[in-house]
Chains A and B, each alone.
Chain A
Amino acid sequence: MSLVREQKIELPDMIAYAGATWDWHKLHYDADYLRERGLDRPVVDGQVFGAYLAIALREWFGPDAVITALSFRFKSLVFAGETIRCVGTVVREEAGTVDVDLRVEVVEGGRIAVAPASATLTLP
C-alpha cells in the first residue's frame, strides 16, 4: 500500500490558512519582515502540517477512520511555492487499530520538513 500525498503550498493557501486560524504572524506574508530576518520567501506556518497529515491519513484509510493521536516534530522550514509530500508507513495493525509512521518531505530538493511523526487511527 503506497501512502503518499503531495500538495503544493502557494501564497494564497497560506493567506487563507492565516485567516482561518486567526494567526497573522508576519513570517507568513510580510516581505520587509522576512528580509530583515534573512529570509527571501514567506514561511509556511508549521501548524498546518498537522492538518495536512490528518487529511492524508483520512484519504489513505477512508473517511470513517478516526484519528485518535497525531504527533510530529519540525525539521526544516517550508517556503511559499514549495510542494510537500506526506509519506506514511503502517507499522502495526491489530483489532481495528493502526499505527502509522509519518514524515513530510519537500519535493523540491528532498529535504525533510517534518519527522519523526506518527499517528494512531481506529478503523471501522
Chain B
Amino acid sequence: MKKDNKIDRIFKALADPTRREILYLLVAAAAAMNINEVSDRFPATRQGVTKHLKVLEQAGLVDIQKRGRERYCVATPRPLKAVQEWVDFYKKFWDDKLDGLAGFLDKT
C-alpha cells in the first residue's frame, strides 16, 4: 500500500460500478484470483478488466502480483476503512454539534 494514497483516488476508483463489483468480488473471495478468473465474471474484455484493476491498484484497494506467467489480484481494502472512519467521525461530530446548537438556542 502506497503511503501517499489520496482518498480522492479511492473515491474516483469507486465511482465506477464495474470497479465496485470487481472489488466486492475480490473482497468476497478473500483470496488471490488471477486476472482471467476475474474477467470471466464480467462482460468486459480482459483488457477492460485489467484497466479497472490498475485503477483499483493505484487507489491502494487491490494488490496485483506476478507469479510466473500469471498475474494475481487480491483485495486490500484498508484505505477504504480510513475513509469510512473519517466520514463516520465527522458525521458524529456534526450531530453532536447541532445537538449542542439546539441546547444553546433553547437556553438563550
Q: Report if A and B associate in a common complex.
A: no
